[in-house]
Amino acid sequence: MSHNQVTPGDDPSDRPPWEWSGPELQHLAERRPEELYAAAEQLCRRASAEEPGGASAARAAGRIAETLADTRSRDCATFAVDIVGRLLPLETMDRVEADRLLRSVAAKLVKAQQLRDLEPVFGELPDGIRSPAVELRACLLGELALIGSGAGRHTLEAYAERLRELGHPLARLPGTRLDIEHRFTVRVRGLGSIKTPKQLRSRFPEVPSTDSGAVAGRRASDTRDDGRAKAAARPFTAGGWACEPEARFFTLPSPLSTEDFGMSFIKELSLRCLAGEGRRRGSALACATTPDEVLNELFSASYSGGVNGQGQGGAYARLYAWDSLYALMGLPAGVPFLEAVRQATDHRWLRFMAFTDWFHHDTSDAAFAVLDPTHTRVAVLAATDTDVDRDGLGSSR
């Protein structure tokens, strides 16, 4: 018997494709990808016919596409793109699930395949952006930009330009990674989520509290902007963090001294995340941080996903992070990215922590305050994630 064959009794074809295990799928992808593709075709036809079990068939075809995308070969790459871009009726799936599949396949393709095997899929320019095939390719370009690949390739650049003309949201992102994005997708040992004051102080300089800061905080006016708040919170809502983030904006009657922009000022703002501050053991503190650290936290929130959520893939995590940073700074979408980077250095950035019913301190907490260059506008964004049901403020119930 050939070593390329499955041993008797272990052939996945003896069972429905949706029951195939990960190792079985990988085995076929490596040795007989055309058989796996044929099985996906059958599953897609079943899902399209809306037969009983059609949703299960669609999910099984999606698993096959992910396995093929993650297996290096030109055939596997071509098959994966064709399954999710043409064959699979994504309308039979939940919208969130369909988006996750497209983004997952794109990320796996860029991670596993060689660029020369991906370039042919960009040969035909799109007429619109509302199709799975175009969405997949937009995600592919976004993932390639994050690894600094594809620049100078005429086929890819022509496709990206066409997406910009059509107004695809991913197409407005820079074609290459900016220096401020240097930490995206990079994991550094010892730099996990911050859960304790000791961890926060060990990474960032603490900002002393001042009495005049507290006075200034009491004079701040709440400026409601639902659209801006939604954009600021999007990395956390898209990533499925367990608790609803808080994004708030305030104006001051006169410029705030930079020395007064600290925890004493923040505690006087009408923030839900600080309600009941002082009732729990632990002291609130604020530390100075940098725009790149904030941007990386925003990226990671949706790239990795919440404890009970889903990662959004690099392309959309990058988009959500930038949209959030723009919202925090109050910048219009048309401001060029490098100009936004320049303006970010003129803002004051704080990362803070408190011990209230809102913060959980068990999985991930992120809380930032931003002071604009006029020192009269402040934005606050706070998010907390947990896998434990709790009553009180910030509960997922």
3-class DSSP assignment, residue 85: helix
With 0-12 / 13-18 / 19 or more C-beta atoms within 10 angstroms meaning exposed / middle / buried, residue 94 is exposed
- Kindly state whether residues 323 and 223 are assigned to the same domain: yes
Q: β-strands 246-251, 348-353: how paired?
A: unpaired
| DSSP secondary structure code for residue 326 in this structure | H
| 118, 109 contact by CB (below 8 A) | yes
Q: What percent of the chain has pLDDT over 70?
A: 89
Instruction: Please report whether residue 191 resides in a domain.
Output: no
Tell me the CA end-to-end span of the chain in Å, nearest whole number.
Answer: 57
Average pLDDT over residues 307-311: 85
pLDDT tens digits along 71-118: 999 999 999 999 999 999 988 888 889 999 999 999 999 999 999 999
- Kindly state whether residues 177 and 289 are assigned to the same domain: no
pLDDT of residue 334: 92
> Comparing C-alpha atoms, which of 93, 13, 80 is closest to residue 50?
93
Distance, CA of 357 to CA of 24 (rounded, Å): 47
When pLDDT is cut at 50, 70 and 90, the band that residue 7 belongs to is very low
Instruction: Please report whether residue 115 resides in a domain.
Output: yes
pLDDT of residue 28: 83
pLDDT of residue 293: 94
Instruction: Please report whether residue 397 resides in a domain.
Output: no
pLDDT of residue 12: 64
- Kindly state whether residues 273 and 155 are assigned to the same domain: no
Instruction: Please report whether residue 396 resides in a domain.
Output: no
Q: Out of 255-264, 303-312, 356-365, pick the least confident.
A: 356-365
- Kindly state whether residues 290 and 173 are assigned to the same domain: no
pLDDT of residue 280: 61
CATH number of the structural domain spanning residue 357: 3.40.1000
When pLDDT is cut at 50, 70 and 90, the band that residue 19 belongs to is confident
Average pLDDT over residues 366-394: 83
Distance, CA of 254 to CA of 219 (rounded, Å): 9
> Comparing C-alpha atoms, which of 95, 104, 84 is closest to residue 43?
84
Write the CB contacts of 141 (distance below 8 Å, at least 6 apart in sequence): 150, 156, 159, 160, 163, 170, 171, 315
pLDDT tens digits along 126-179: 999 999 999 999 999 999 999 988 777 899 999 999 999 999 999 999 999 999
Distance, CA of 371 to CA of 328 (rounded, Å): 9
pLDDT of residue 61: 94
Domain ends where: 181, 212, 239? 181
pLDDT of residue 279: 65
pLDDT of residue 333: 92
* Structural domains of the chain, count: 2
Write the CB contacts of 230 (distance below 8 Å, at least 6 apart in sequence): 237, 247
Query: Is pLDDT of 18 > 70?
Result: no
pLDDT of residue 385: 86
pLDDT of residue 10: 56
Residue type, 366: A
Instruction: Please report whether residue 6 resides in a domain.
Output: no
| 341, 259 contact by CB (below 8 A) | no
- Kindly state whether residues 213 and 351 are assigned to the same domain: yes
- Kindly state whether residues 58 and 165 are assigned to the same domain: yes
> Comparing C-alpha atoms, which of 75, 78, 94, 76 is closest to residue 86?
78
Across the chain, what does the average pLDDT equal? Answer: 89
Instruction: Please report whether residue 285 resides in a domain.
Output: yes
- Kindly state whether residues 93 and 171 are assigned to the same domain: yes
- Kindly state whether residues 115 and 233 are assigned to the same domain: no
pLDDT of residue 357: 85
| 176, 157 contact by CB (below 8 A) | no
Instruction: Please report whether residue 5 resides in a domain.
Output: no
- The pTM assigned to this predicted structure is 0.90
3-class DSSP assignment, residue 42: helix
- Kindly state whether residues 254 and 334 are assigned to the same domain: yes
Write the CB contacts of 376 (distance below 8 Å, at least 6 apart in sequence): 251, 252, 253, 254, 255, 256
Strand partners, 369: 350, 380
When pLDDT is cut at 50, 70 and 90, the band that residue 2 belongs to is very low
Average pLDDT over residues 366-375: 97
Residue 156's domain comprises 12-181
Query: Is pLDDT of 5 > 60?
Result: no
Query: Is pLDDT of 3 > 50?
Result: no
Domain ends where: 151, 181, 211? 181
Query: Is pLDDT of 191 > 70?
Result: no
Task: Say how many residues make up the chain.
Answer: 397
Domain ends where: 121, 155, 181? 181
Please give the helix or strand (H or E) that residue 7 lies within, else none.
none
When pLDDT is cut at 50, 70 and 90, the band that residue 285 belongs to is very high
Instruction: Please report whether residue 361 resides in a domain.
Output: yes
pLDDT tens digits along 23-42: 888 888 889 999 999 999 99
- Kindly state whether residues 227 and 151 are assigned to the same domain: no
> Comparing C-alpha atoms, which of 277, 284, 272, 304 is closest to residue 380?
272
- Kindly state whether residues 228 and 371 are assigned to the same domain: yes
What is the residue whose two structure tokens read 């960009």? 122
- Kindly state whether residues 360 and 218 are assigned to the same domain: yes
